[in-house]
Amino acid sequence: MNNDSTIFIGLDTHKSFTQVALLKDKRGEAPSSYSRIQSTKSAFIKLSQTLQSQFPKATLNFIYEAGPCGYWIYRLLTSIGHQCYIVAPSLIPKAPGDKIKTDKRDAAKLARLFRADELNAIYVPEAEDEAIRDLSRARETAMKDLKDAKFQLKGFLLRNNITATVKDNWSKKHLRWLTELVLPHHSQQIVLQEMIQIISERMQRLQRLDNELLYQVKNWRYYPVVKAIQAMRGVRLLVALGTIAELGDLRRFDHPRKLMSYLGLVPSEHSSGQKRRQGSITKCGNKRARRLLVESAHTYKHKPNISAELQIRQEDLSKEIIDIAWQAQLRLCRRYQRLMFLGKHRSVVVTAIAREMVAFIWAIAREVVIIPIDPRQRISRLPV
C-alpha cells in the first residue's frame, strides 16, 4: 500500500445515516463499501479519525451530494483539516442502462467519478453568508404569504359584491373600513374577521423581518458590495441583498460570461454541422437571483436619468463605481429601446437587459475590497 496516496471517500448522506465507500488512488482499483454510520457529528469525527489511523500519510477527500441536509458535514470535515467536496446531483453523469440504485452503489459511484475528474464541486457559502441568505429568503416567503392573504380577502369581497370605498388599499384607513363591514350571515362575518387578523399578523411579521434584515446586513462582510451595486438603476437594497446573498462572492467568476451562464441567462443552443440553433435561456442555476435581476431590468425602459433617490444611494461611493453605473445606464437604456424598435417581445428584451446587468454588477463587485474571514472564526461559527 502506498501511504502517500489519496483516498477518496464517497458519502451517500441521509437524514439518519450515511453510507461510506472507499477508493484508493491506484489504477484499476475498485471502490469498496466501508460501513454505514449515523449522520451525527460524533460519528463523522470518529470516521475521519479511524481512516486517518488506517492511512496515516494519505490525503482524505470526502465527496457527497448536495441535498436538504445542508453544509454542516462539509464545515465539520474541513474544520478538522480534511478535504471535502460537494457536488450537484443534477450534474452527476448516469448511464442510460443503469436501472439499479442503492446506497452502496451511489457512494461508490461518487468516489469513482470524482477520482476520474468527472465531477465539479459546487460553491459552499460561509455559515454567516448562509444565515443572511436564510433571512432574505424568509422575508421573501413572508411577502408571498401576505400577498396570498390579501388576494383571498379580495376574492371574498368580490364574491359578496362588496366594493371598497377607500382608494388607498391596505392602509390603516382601509383596514378600519374592513373591520366596520357587516355581512348578512354570522359565518361570513367570522371568516372576514379571521382574514383581517391574518393580514395584520403577516404585515407585522414582514415588518419584523425587514427591521432585522436592515440591522443584520450592515454587519455583514458583503455589505460594501451590497451598497456598491445599489449605484445601478433598478437595484435597491432588497434586490442587491437578495442577489449577493444568493450568489456569494462574485470574484470567484473570472469572467462575467461565466456568471451569466451560472444564472441561466444565456441562450440554449443546439448546433450541428453548418446549422446553429439558439433557443430560450437555459434557466440553470439560482432562479431567485435571476428573477430579481429580471425584475430590475424593467426600469431601463425609461431614458437615462439620475433621480434623487439614486443620487442618495450613490453617496460615499467611489468615482469608479459611479462611472460604471452610469455607463451601464447609458448602454442598457439604449439597448432596450433598440431591441423594442426591432420588434422583439418585451420579455425577450428584459431578459437581454438582465443578462448585461450581470456584467456591470460583476465589474462593480471587483472594485470593492472585502475583508476575508479568519479561518479561526470560521471554525468557531460551527454549530454545536
Q: Is the pLDDT of residue 375 over 80?
A: no
* Residue 79 neighbours by CB distance under 10 Å: 15
So what's the pLDDT on residue 228?
Answer: 96
Amino acid present at 275 = K
d(CA 9, CA 42): 17
Lowest mean pLDDT segment, chosen from 140-154, 320-334, 358-372: 358-372
- Do 196 and 174 contact (CB within 8 A), yes or no? no
pLDDT of residue 4: 53
Q: 253-272 pLDDT, tens per residue?
A: 999 999 999 999 998 888 88
Q: Which residues contact 47 (CB under 8 A, 6 or more apart)?
A: 20, 35, 37
Residues 256, 250: Cα–Cα separation, whole Å: 9
Q: Which of 293, 300, 302, 303 is nearest to 354 (CA)?
A: 293
76 and 140 in a common domain: no
Strand 278-281 to 267-269 pairing: antiparallel
Q: What is the 3-state secondary structure (H, E, C) of 146-201?
A: HHHHHHHHHHHHHHCCCCCCCCCCCCHHHHHHHHCCCCCCHHHHHHHHHHHHHHHH
Q: Tens digit of pLDDT for each residue in 163-215?
A: 988 888 898 899 999 999 999 999 999 999 999 999 999 999 999 999 999 99
Q: Please indicate, yes or no, if residue 377 is contained in any of the structural domains.
A: no
Give yes or no: residues 228 and 318 share one domain: yes
* Residues 175 and 301 both lie in one domain: no
Backbone phi, psi, residue 332, to 5°: -70, -35
Residue 84, in any domain of the structure: yes
The two beta strands, 17-24 and 6-13, are: antiparallel
21-68 pLDDT, tens digit per residue, is 999 888 778 888 888 999 999 999 999 999 999 999 899 999 999 999
Query: Which of 172-176, 343-347, 374-378 has maximum average pLDDT?
Result: 343-347
Q: Locate 127 and state its grid cell.
A: 455559515
Which residue is associated with the grid cell 449577493? 244
Mapped onto helix, strand or coil, the DSSP state of residue 204 is: helix
Report which DSSP code applies to 251.
G
Tally the domains of the chain: 3
Q: What is the pLDDT of residue 378?
A: 41
Query: Nearest Cα to 364, choosing from 210, 247, 217?
Result: 247
pLDDT, residue 2, reads: 46
- Residue pair 220/226 in contact (Cβ under 8 Å)? The answer is yes
Q: What letter does residue 275 receive in the DSSP assignment? A: B
Same domain, 237 and 358: yes
Same structural domain, 159 and 259: no
> 10 Å Cβ neighbour count for 102?
11
What's the CATH code of the domain at 108? 3.30.420.10
Is 79 in the same domain as 203?
A: no
Distance separating the N- and C-terminal Cα atoms of the chain: 37
Q: Rounded mean pLDDT of 97-106? A: 90
pLDDT at residue 121 in the model: 93
187 domain residue, yes or no: yes
343 and 234 in a common domain: yes
At 372, the pLDDT band (50, 70, 90 cuts) reads: low
User: What kind and span of H or E run contains 321?
Assistant: helix 319-341
Instruction: Provide the percentage of residues in the chain whose pLDDT is more than 90.
Output: 78
pLDDT above 70: residue 223 = yes
Q: Say which DSSP state 91 is in.
A: G
What average pLDDT does the structure give for the chain? Answer: 91
Residues 104-124: what's their mean pLDDT?
93
**Cβ atoms of 325 and 304 closer than 8 Å:** no
376, part of any domain: no
Both 211 and 232 in a single domain? no
157/140 Cα distance (integer angstroms): 26
The answer to whether position 166 is within a domain reads yes
Give a yes or no: residue 381 inside a domain.
no
Q: Looking at residue 139, what is its pLDDT? A: 96
Range of the domain at 249: 223-365
Distance in angstroms (rounded) separating the CA atoms of residues 313 and 24 = 55
CA distance readout (Å), 315 to 8, 66, 221, 241, 310: 51, 40, 19, 18, 9
Q: Quick one: 185 and 51 in the same domain?
A: no
Q: Inform me whether the pLDDT recorded for 380 exceeds 60.
A: no
Verify that 52 and 150 share a domain, yes or no: no
Same domain? For 206 and 236 the reply is: no
Residues 132 and 236 in one domain: no
Return phi, psi of residue 331, to 5°. -70, -45
